[in-house]
Copies of this chain bind each other. A is one copy, B any other.
Amino acid sequence: MKIYGVIMAGGGGTRFWPLSRQERPKQLLNLSGKEVMVNETIDRLARTANKDDIFIVTNKTQAAAMKEVTRGRIQENHILAEPSARNTAACIGYAAMEILKKYGDGIMVITPSDAFIKNVEEFTRVLSVAVKEAENSDKLVTVGITPTFPSTGYGYIKYDVKDAGDAKKVEEFKEKPDLATAKEYVASGSYAWNSGMFIWKASVILKNFERFLPEIYADIVKIGNAMQKPEEQDVINEVYPQIKSISIDYGIMEQSEDVMVVPGEFGWNDVGSFDMLKVMHEEDADGNVVVGDCITIDTTNSVVYSSKKLVTTLGLDNVVVVETADSIMVCSKDRVQDVKKIVDQLKADNRKEYL
């Protein structure tokens, strides 16, 4: 059966400010020093699906930058621009309908655009297991990450460890836990992190929309009926913003009894803030990640990122310094999750040029 790649790339994300902006979010950044994240995601998916069968769902604001960045890698008309962000259920329903109507049924391999994966070989193997499962069973398949520490920052998937197959029956989705609970999860050996990657037939997920999210399904059908007709874009513009905003996890995965998980270990990281750059870059002998033109003296455990100007540090520990074309951000590494506070201040000051 044909395999389609679907990359969800609508996220904004302020945690990488000042690198990330409204029109240049995380997935359009080159954080690895090699390629922008969405292109790394495309190249990774291209081991599972043909490049010509890879789609990106993004939003109006980012669509132009997305087309420019991915030019030559995927087909321009495979970049779907949501008129407004309506969460993952709408995004996936729209992509499923687009594929089914215009290209025919097939396996959708859906991934976020901004995760970092170290071991691409193993990742591809895990996907192939998931694809086989989705093809043979009409089930909803997800990839779970075997936890390497008791993270309180990810959701968890409890699965049946006695299931003999490579894909395991999912018993329950769990919200981000507290530390004690996370430790129990990890110790039990029957939990995986929720990666937000989904593998299923386009026809199967649409049937699940019909059953669990009938309102959204009706809206998706309206859009589907207009596809390849002159009114297609008008209908999308009219219907899409009114679609109920709900995540695919809440809306379908947690409702269905037919969910399988393929647990995997391939150096996955949901790159969310500057301290994660450590995963993508070699640390120096002092535990620093240094990117660009920098001089670091007596500096330890820090992230020093220069886009253009010379950045120098002296006598720092545990600090993040980021220099971009128009601004500099200096932050305690313990506070990187709060960079949005700076963005909030810029919004309050109406300094749109920095958003």
Q: Interface of A with B (CB < 8 Å)?
A: 18, 295, 297-298, 306, 309-316, 319, 321, 323, 326-332, 334-335, 338-339, 341-342, 345-346, 349, 351, 354
In the complex, are the beta carbons of B314 and A334 less than 8 A apart?
A: no
Residues of B within 8 A of A339 (CB): 314
Within 8 Å by CB of A309, from B315, B319, B321, B327, lies B327
In the complex, are the beta carbons of A323 and B328 less than 8 A apart?
A: yes
Q: A309-B326, A327-B309 known; A316 and B298 CB under 8 Å?
A: no
In the complex, are the beta carbons of B341 and A310 less than 8 A apart?
A: no
CB distance from A256 to the nearest CB of B (A): 42
In the complex, are the beta carbons of B326 and A314 less than 8 A apart?
A: no
In the complex, are the beta carbons of A18 and B342 less than 8 A apart?
A: no
Q: A295-B346, A297-B341, A346-B295 known; A319 and B330 CB under 8 Å?
A: yes
CB distance from A298 to the nearest CB of B (A): 7
4 A-B pairs with least C-beta separation? A315-B335, A315-B332, A310-B327, A314-B331
Q: A326-B310, A327-B309, A328-B311 known; A295 and B342 CB under 8 Å?
A: yes
Q: A18-B312, A314-B335, A316-B319 known; A297 and B330 CB under 8 Å?
A: no
| 22 A-B interface contacts by CB (under 8 A) | A295-B342, A295-B349, A298-B338, A309-B328, A310-B327, A310-B328, A310-B351, A312-B328, A312-B329, A313-B329, A314-B329, A314-B331, A314-B338, A314-B341, A315-B332, A315-B338, A316-B330, A316-B331, A321-B328, A323-B328, A328-B328, A330-B330
CB distance from A104 to the nearest CB of B (A): 50
Question: What's the Cα separation between A321 and B330 when bound, in Å?
Answer: 8
CB distance from A314 to the nearest CB of B (A): 4
Known: A298-B335, A309-B326. 11 other contacts (CB 8 A): A18-B310, A295-B342, A310-B351, A311-B327, A312-B328, A314-B342, A315-B335, A316-B332, A319-B319, A319-B330, A321-B328
A321's nearest neighbour on chain B, judged by CB, is B330
In the complex, are the beta carbons of B346 and A330 less than 8 A apart?
A: no
Residues of B within 8 A of A342 (CB): 295, 297, 312, 314
In the complex, are the beta carbons of B309 and A330 less than 8 A apart?
A: no
Residues of B within 8 A of A349 (CB): 295
In the complex, are the beta carbons of A332 and B310 less than 8 A apart?
A: no
Residues of B within 8 A of A327 (CB): 309-312
In the complex, are the beta carbons of A310 and B345 less than 8 A apart?
A: no
Residues of B within 8 A of A345 (CB): 295, 297
Question: What's the Cα separation between A2 and B221 when bound, in Å?
Answer: 96
Question: What's the Cα separation between A293 and B127 when bound, in Å?
Answer: 49
In the complex, are the beta carbons of A354 and B310 less than 8 A apart?
A: yes
CB distance from A287 to the nearest CB of B (A): 16
Residues of B within 8 A of A18 (CB): 310, 312
A339's nearest neighbour on chain B, judged by CB, is B314
